Amino acid sequence: MTGLKNAFIAAIPFATIFLLSAIFQNWIVPGPSFEVLLDPPRSEVSIDSETKTNFSVVDTSPWPKQYMYDIALGADRVGGEGLPSGLSVELDPAICKGDSKGILSIETDSRAVPGSYTLQISGYGADGTQRSAFLLLDVHE
């Protein structure tokens, strides 16, 4: 019985190390991350006009971790090659760190084709993390 008791006591440090390793190596507590949020998620713009939408990059890392990498921001049309003709999108800032706010500017010109488009606003972390938000855009004359 004493041998079993000693084996159990000897295993406690290994079990503790395993548990702490699981917690801090992303097995139980997820690693550093972020989200991209738009406000509002729907926008209307007329041909030959401009609209602005607020965006936020929010650090969603659990304590004590923090997302420490640069995040490059970009926009593209869902289901198409590049942005629609006559439409331009600018994100300010184009590169940020977690917990940032910015402005998404959308401009159209006379080449813009009226219709509804879904734009994907993506954040690309320097560690390979990618997060996206979607903007429903109605372009009309």
**pLDDT (tens digit, 9 = 90+) per residue, 28-85?**
656 788 999 988 888 877 777 888 888 999 998 887 778 889 999 999 999 878 888 8
The pLDDT of residue 128 is 92
Q: Coil, strand or helix: which one is 127?
A: coil
pLDDT of residue 26 exceeding 60, the answer is: no
Q: Choose among 59, 125, 75, 55: nearest CA to 95.
A: 125
Q: Would you state the pLDDT for residue 94?
A: 94
Separation CA 96–CA 13 (nearest Å): 42
Work out the mean pLDDT of the chain and round it to a whole number: 82
pTM above 0.85, yes or no: no
